[in-house]
């Protein structure tokens, strides 16, 4: 934990105790787990579509009661000293967990949409720097993807990879990186999504096929950001909550993971299109589109029936399928990517790239990385045990960011074709 004796600093020991209480209090608040649909909902819906008479899926959510949890979180917030960086961190984290608990208590109702908007934002919000809205950005990437000729794909990019083959390849990649078996790659017949990741396990849907880009994305996005920050967070004896995916860190986590895809050349335009389609679908659902209409939107965009169902259910997690409400988590991917990219460029400009490395020491926001820097430097918080290679190659990272800083000064609308 470093050279600092935290017992001699009452503010640090006080907030460490609050953090431990918070970790214990939120143990049952599993936002994605409790909002996810059972795999058995897919087949009946697709059967109804095949018959030409699609029926809205009906999902029953067990009633949740987090009264005790929310009382404890309220007490923790009241006890946190928001004039101290640890107090701000604990208070804001507890608040986001409270919103998540409220969302889970409202499952199946339109109130989930309101809680979700508070946690993850909405497509109509401006991007960082008062730029275009997230929905505008999504439409930009969708348009570019539709204009590109798919025949430009290299032959090897079009060869499907089975889940079993990918399991073996990805397991080998991860064993090499961690020099041992810290993360296991497993096949899952019940998974609706193509893949899902936790701290020590990545699951692949048994029936899914993958591309070469999928392998790189799972490695850099899921394993070396989501799993890696959870593992590094477990090294934090002072703030064990840094191992948890609190709702307030979602935008930074997804932005950092998508930035990792970008900086390693692992993201393709079709991936950006998938992310962008989900944002447009969230806006559609909030505007009144029901599950069937959103499903058909994904089908018209070129997704298979199975992919379209998976994409649409992400939008309707926890909310009525009749329209007018949405689970907005997928809104954070583009917002997070822009925020993280901007943050890295700011840190380069200010000669503080080390601050970017703190983002991997656990699951935190961009603001946390800045505010907690003195505690990292003093040894109160542990540095990241594992770091992805791209951030360790400081010269290469600085080169890419420096070029981005300069390229932003070029006005594309003032360049004539030659």
3-state secondary structure string across 254-311 = HHHHHHHHHHCCCCCHHHHHHHHHHHHHHHHHHCCCCHHHHHHHHHHCCCCHHHHHHH
pLDDT digits (tens, 9 = 90+) for 225-258: 999 999 999 999 999 999 999 999 999 999 999 9
* Confidence (pLDDT) at 4: 46
* Confidence (pLDDT) at 55: 96
Question: What is the distance between the alpha carbons of residues 296 and 279, in angstroms, rounded to a whole number?
Answer: 15
Question: What is the distance between the alpha carbons of residues 240 and 5, in angstroms, rounded to a whole number?
Answer: 17
User: 412 or 27, which is more confident?
Assistant: 27
Question: What is the distance between the alpha carbons of residues 78 and 181, in angstroms, rounded to a whole number?
Answer: 42
Q: Count of residues for the chain?
A: 418
Is 164 within a domain?
Answer: no
Is 175 within a domain?
Answer: no
Residue 183: name the closest of 143, 145, 230 by CA.
Answer: 230
Q: Of 10-19, 109-118, 256-265, which range is least confident?
A: 256-265
Is 35 within a domain?
Answer: yes
9 pLDDT above the threshold of 80? yes
Question: What is the distance between the alpha carbons of residues 59 and 38, in angstroms, rounded to a whole number?
Answer: 8
Q: How high is the mean pLDDT of the chain? A: 90
pLDDT digits (tens, 9 = 90+) for 52-76: 999 999 999 999 999 999 999 999 9
Is 183 within a domain?
Answer: no
417 pLDDT above the threshold of 70? no
Counted domains in the chain:
1
* Confidence (pLDDT) at 366: 97
pLDDT digits (tens, 9 = 90+) for 304-348: 999 999 999 999 999 999 999 999 999 999 999 989 998 998 898
Residue 208's Cβ-side half-sphere holds a number of Cα atoms within 13 Å equal to: 24
pLDDT band of 19, cuts 50, 70, 90: very high
The arithmetic mean of pLDDT across residues 166-180, rounded, is 96
156 pLDDT above the threshold of 60? no
pLDDT digits (tens, 9 = 90+) for 174-190: 999 999 999 999 999 98
Is 177 within a domain?
Answer: no
Q: What's the token pair of residue 277?
A: 């389609």
* Confidence (pLDDT) at 146: 82
* Confidence (pLDDT) at 160: 85
397 pLDDT above the threshold of 80? no
* Confidence (pLDDT) at 400: 66
* Confidence (pLDDT) at 406: 58
Is 203 within a domain?
Answer: no
Is 185 within a domain?
Answer: no
Percent share of the chain, pLDDT over 70: 89
* Confidence (pLDDT) at 396: 67
412 pLDDT above the threshold of 50? no
Nearest 5 degrees, angle CA 116-CA 122-CA 127? 135
pLDDT band of 403, cuts 50, 70, 90: low
Question: What is the distance between the alpha carbons of residues 311 and 52, in angstroms, rounded to a whole number?
Answer: 20
* Confidence (pLDDT) at 150: 56
Is 285 within a domain?
Answer: yes
Domain limits for position 349: 6-159+211-412
Q: Of 234-248, 253-267, 399-413, which range is least confident?
A: 399-413
Q: Are 106 and 119 in contact (CB under 8 A)?
A: no
* Confidence (pLDDT) at 41: 94
SS3 string, 75-141, reads HHHHHCCCCCHHHHHHHHHHHHHHHHHHHHHCCCCCHHHHHHHHHHCCCCCECCCCCCEHHHHHHHH
């Amino acid at each position: 934990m470093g050279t600092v004796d935290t017992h001699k600093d009452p503010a640090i020991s006080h907030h460490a105790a609050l953090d431990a209480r918070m970790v214990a209090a939120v143990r049952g608040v599993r936002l994605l787990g409790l909002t996810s649909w059972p795999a058995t909902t897919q087949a009946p819906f697709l059967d109804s579509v095949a018959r030409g008479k699609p029926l809205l899926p009906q999902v029953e959510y067990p009633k949740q009661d987090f009264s005790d949890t929310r009382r404890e979180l309220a007490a923790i917030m009241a006890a946190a000293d928001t004039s101290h960086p640890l107090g701000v961190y604990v208070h804001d984290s507890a608040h986001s967990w409270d919103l998540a608990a409220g969302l889970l208590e409202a499952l199946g109702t339109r109130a989930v949409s309101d809680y979700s908007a508070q946690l993850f934002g909405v497509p109509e919000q401006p991007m960082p720097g008062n730029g275009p809205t997230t929905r505008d950005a999504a439409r930009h990437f969708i348009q570019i993807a539709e204009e590109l000729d798919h025949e430009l794909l290299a032959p090897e990019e079009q060869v499907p990879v089975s889940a079993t083959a990918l399991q073996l390849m990805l397991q080998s990649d991860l064993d090499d990186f961690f020099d041992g078996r810290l993360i296991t790659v497993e096949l899952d017949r019940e998974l609706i999504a193509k893949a899902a990741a936790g701290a020590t396990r990545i699951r692949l849907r048994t029936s899914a096929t993958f591309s070469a880009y999928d392998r790189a994305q799972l490695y850099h996005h899921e394993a070396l950001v989501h799993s890696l920050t959870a593992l590094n967070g477990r090294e934090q004896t002072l703030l064990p909550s840094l191992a948890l995916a609190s709702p307030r860190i979602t935008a930074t986590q997804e932005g950092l993971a998508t930035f990792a895809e970008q900086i390693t050349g692992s993201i393709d335009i079709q991936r950006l299109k998938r992310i962008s389609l989900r944002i447009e679908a969230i806006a559609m659902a909030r505007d009144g589109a029901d599950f069937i209409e959103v499903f058909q939107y994904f089908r018209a965009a070129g997704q298979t029936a199975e992919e379209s169902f998976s994409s649409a259910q992400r939008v309707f997690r926890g909310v009525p399928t009749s329209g007018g409400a949405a689970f907005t988590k997928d809104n954070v991917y583009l917002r997070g990517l822009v925020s993280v990219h901007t943050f890295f460029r700011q840190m380069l400009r200010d000669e503080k790239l080390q601050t970017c490395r703190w983002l991997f020491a656990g699951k935190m926001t961009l603001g946390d990385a800045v505010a907690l820097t003195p505690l990292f430097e003093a040894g109160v918080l542990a540095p990241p045990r594992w770091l992805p290679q791209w951030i360790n190659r400081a010269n290469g990272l600085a080169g890419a960011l420096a070029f981005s800083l300069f390229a932003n000064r070029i006005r594309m609308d003032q360049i004539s074709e030659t």
